[in-house]
Amino acid sequence: MATWQRIKIPVRKDLSKIQRKAVGLEIIQHIRKRTSEGRDKHGNPWKGKAGEYSKSYRNSLDFKIAKGGSSTVNLELSSEMMNSIEILSNKKGELTIGFDKNNSELNGKVEGNRLGTYGNSSPIRGKKRDFLGIERAKLKEIQDKYDFKSTDRQKVKERIDRINSILG
């Protein structure tokens, strides 16, 4: 049984609920984009075996359908996993992002990638692809975008409105 896949992210205590929501949505957007480029939670390209798909997977019909000739490891087959990340809780000083607790199949898939187990009882060495996280510098950059003190107030308001309306 897979565990519930989520991470807690400490955020500035002076951010309001709506600012934190915008920060959370932007973090999720960043995780999607970074993973689609084949990079892990630290922003580094996948290393070793994790940086390539197995031969059997590359030869599978699903791979042919979804990825054509592309070999970038971006954890996207149908793209369901990467587009199912959500804000799970939004508290003062802390955001939790991750996956729906009740979707055990999805949590299993995510756990398989993050630990490198892929359905096995123990991890396959070098196959771990942990994508759920945020680089410290990126977190600061994102929070600055939504900080009334460090950026033009009107611009911040507009960006909050836009991100909440489109992605929220």
Partner 1 sequence: MSVEKQIQEILERRVNRFVKAGQSKELLDKVGKEAVSQVVKRTRLGQGVRPPGGGAASKLLPLKDITKKYRSRYSNNLSPFTRDSRSNLTATGQLLDSITYRILNGTKSKIIQLFFKDNRTYELNGGRARVRNDKLAGHVQKQGRSFFYLAQFEIKKIRSIIFDALDKL
Interface residues with partner 1 (CB under 8 A) are 29, 32-33, 61-62, 64-66, 77-80, 83-84, 162-163, 165-167
Contact 85, 110 (CB under 8 A): no
Nearest distance from C-beta of residue 17 to partner 1, angstroms: 20
Nearer to partner 1, 106 or 124 (CB): 106
What's the Rg (C-alpha) of the chain? 17
Nearer to partner 1, 73 or 81 (CB): 81
Nearest distance from C-beta of residue 35 to partner 1, angstroms: 12
Contact 99, 11 (CB under 8 A): no
Nearest distance from C-beta of residue 31 to partner 1, angstroms: 11
C-alpha span between 157 and 140 (Å, rounded): 18
Nearer to partner 1, 152 or 167 (CB): 167
Phi, psi of 86 (to 5 degrees): -140, 165
Nearest distance from C-beta of residue 165 to partner 1, angstroms: 5
Tokens of 58: 């590359």
Listed in sequence order, the residues at least 6 apart from 43 whose beta carbon sits closer than 8 Å to its beta carbon are 34, 135, 138
Nearer to partner 1, 78 or 151 (CB): 78
C-alpha span between 108 and 83 (Å, rounded): 16
Nearest distance from C-beta of residue 152 to partner 1, angstroms: 16
Nearer to partner 1, 24 or 116 (CB): 24
